[in-house]
């Protein structure tokens, strides 16, 4: 047999491939295979990504020779995310699925691993955060560990079922396979993914509801934390919806529907707990011609016998007259505000006069009484001018039978409540 000897000759230094460049905020790598005995020697090691950039602060003092540069790169590259210079740089060998997966993006040739959280694909450049890459690394390791354990258990199961069970069936009974596959592969579009995630969330909620009795006993603290978090998220959603409506101009009917759905917001106008009894209630019925009816927006009842009438206007309602009264410091109430106050007082009067009839005809009102009927008007926003604000405060505090609350005050109460429901940072005991 004839042996053919392959002679290797060293490449002149001026023909060596450029492996990396260093700037104060980047390490620009051109990853290659550096094993001279491998068939793909000096070829790109990260597929189509011939350039891999680590974008982060790497120091302003740059190295001036190759040995120092190699050490500088090795020190500044994140641990187990990149190969060392002696191994050709680029992504760590266990992260090959990352660049293999990203190579599916059309025309992508540059991979940026950045300290910033932004991730994008644009003009042949794909950017992934260091945090996300490290998360993938840890998940890959977890999959490998689980995979090795599953393989080991599967092999032992074969020995158990195919050998031990045949030798002594009574002592070594056959095992029942309940282990699911390592990974369930499924292709789905964005709509399918959204539907699946929605179904999974509903399934999780149903699972918690079915196990509430056990959770109260086994994990009461976690259950209370979950309850508090649900309340906080719900409150945050309510605040966002309130802000969105304040930013636009909506009619009274739109606001009435909003408060019907979010009764909790209106309840903040009261010092005591209340319950919504009726919307669009008739304090006074109409005549045969359909005129003369007194219809209120909301009727609340307290836990005792007291009632409360709430009249809703809009955030754009003008609270004060544009021109000062006798001088420059006194501003009277606008007709829209004074009219709303008079309207709600008239509804209170009509409700008291006809209370026995209402009480008899309306289920659920038998325990309530008309001796104390609180009146609330929700209208406008607080004046920004200090002089006008003073006139407004003087006027509404003089209305002993009617509370005037502005829309922005209700929002402020919601935000104050959210602030106190949001947990502070936990103390580090170590």
CA separation for the pair 115, 57 (Å, rounded) = 9
pLDDT of residue 2: 38
Residue 295: predicted pLDDT? 81
User: What sections of 211-310 are H helices per DSSP?
Assistant: 212-218, 220-247, 252-261, 263-267
Q: How many CA atoms lie within 13 A of 308 on its CB side?
A: 22
Polymer length of the chain: 430
pLDDT in tens, the chain (430 residues): 333 444 555 667 677 888 999 998 999 999 999 998 888 888 999 999 999 999 988 777 888 888 899 999 998 999 889 999 999 999 998 999 999 999 999 999 999 999 888 889 999 999 999 999 999 999 999 999 988 988 898 888 889 888 998 898 888 887 766 555 555 556 666 777 788 888 888 888 888 888 888 888 888 888 888 878 888 888 899 999 999 999 888 999 999 999 999 888 988 888 888 888 888 887 665 444 444 566 888 998 888 788 889 999 999 999 999 898 877 889 999 999 999 999 999 988 888 888 887 776 666 666 677 788 899 999 999 999 999 999 999 999 998 889 999 999 999 999 998 888 776 655 443 3
Is 42 in a helix, a strand, or coil? Answer: coil
The model's pLDDT over 343-394, given as tens digits with 9 standing for 90+, comes to 999 988 888 888 887 776 666 666 677 788 899 999 999 999 999 999 999 9
89 closest CA partner among 72, 106, 105? 72
Cβ contacts of 380 within 8 Å, gap of 6 or more: 313, 314, 315, 316, 317, 318, 319, 337, 406, 407
CA atoms within 13 A on the CB side of 374: 20
- Asked if 414 and 238 count as a contact pair (C-beta separation under 8 A), the reply is yes
DSSP 77: S
| Residue range 172-211, pLDDT digits in tens | 887 766 555 555 556 666 777 788 888 888 888 888 888 8
| 257-285 pLDDT tens trace | 999 998 889 888 888 888 888 888 876 65
Rounded Cα gap, residues 269 and 412, in angstroms: 11
- The predicted structure's pLDDT at residue 366: 65
pTM for this prediction: 0.52
Instruction: State which H helix or E strand residue 403 sits in.
Output: strand 402-405
């Amino acid at each position: 047999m004839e042996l053919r000897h392959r002679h290797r000759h060293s490449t002149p230094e001026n023909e060596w491939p450029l492996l990396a460049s260093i700037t104060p905020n980047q390490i620009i790598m051109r990853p290659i295979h550096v094993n001279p005995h491998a068939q793909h020697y000096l070829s790109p090691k990260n597929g189509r990504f011939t350039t891999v950039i680590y974008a982060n602060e790497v120091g302003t003092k740059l190295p001036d020779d190759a040995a120092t540069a190699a050490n500088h790169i090795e020190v500044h590259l994140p641990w187990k995310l990149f190969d060392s210079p002696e191994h050709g740089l680029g992504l760590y060998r266990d992260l090959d699925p990352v660049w293999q997966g990203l190579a599916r993006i059309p025309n992508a040739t540059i991979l940026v691993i950045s300290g910033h959280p932004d991730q994008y694909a644009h003009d042949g450049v794909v950017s992934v955060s260091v945090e996300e890459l490290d998360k993938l690394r840890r998940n890959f390791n977890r999959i490998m560990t689980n995979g090795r354990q599953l393989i080991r258990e599967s092999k032992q199961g074969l020995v158990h079922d195919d050998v031990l069970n045949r030798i002594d069936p009574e002592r070594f009974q056959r095992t029942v396979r309940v282990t699911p596959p390592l990974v369930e592969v499924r292709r789905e579009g964005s709509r399918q993914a959204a539907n699946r995630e929605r179904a999974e969330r509903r399934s999780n909620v149903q699972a918690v509801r079915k196990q509430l009795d056990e959770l109260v006993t086994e994990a009461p603290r976690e259950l209370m934390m979950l309850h508090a978090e649900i309340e906080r998220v719900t409150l945050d959603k309510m605040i966002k919806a309130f802000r969105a409506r304040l930013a636009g101009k909506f009619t009274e009917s739109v606001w009435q529907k909003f408060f019907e759905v979010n009764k909790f917001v209106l309840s903040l106008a009261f010092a005591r707990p209340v319950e919504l009894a009726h919307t669009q209630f008739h304090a006074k019925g109409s005549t045969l011609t359909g005129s003369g009816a007194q219809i209120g927006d909301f009727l609340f009842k307290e836990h005792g016998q007291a009632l409360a009438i709430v009249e809703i206007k809009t955030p754009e309602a003008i609270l004060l007259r544009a021109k000062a009264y006798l001088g420059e410091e006194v501003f009277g109430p606008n007709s829209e505000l004074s009219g709303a106050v008079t309207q709600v007082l008239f509804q209170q009067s009509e409700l008291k006069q006809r209370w026995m009839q209402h009480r008899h005809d309306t289920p659920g009102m038998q325990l309530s009484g008309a001796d104390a009927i609180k009146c609330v008007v929700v209208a406008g926003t607080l004046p920004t001018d200090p002089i006008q604000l003073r006139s407004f405060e003087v006027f509404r505090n003089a209305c002993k039978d009617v509370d005037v609350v502005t829309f922005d005050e209700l929002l402020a109460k919601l935000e104050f409540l959210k602030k106190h429901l949001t947990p502070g940072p936990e103390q580090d005991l170590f």
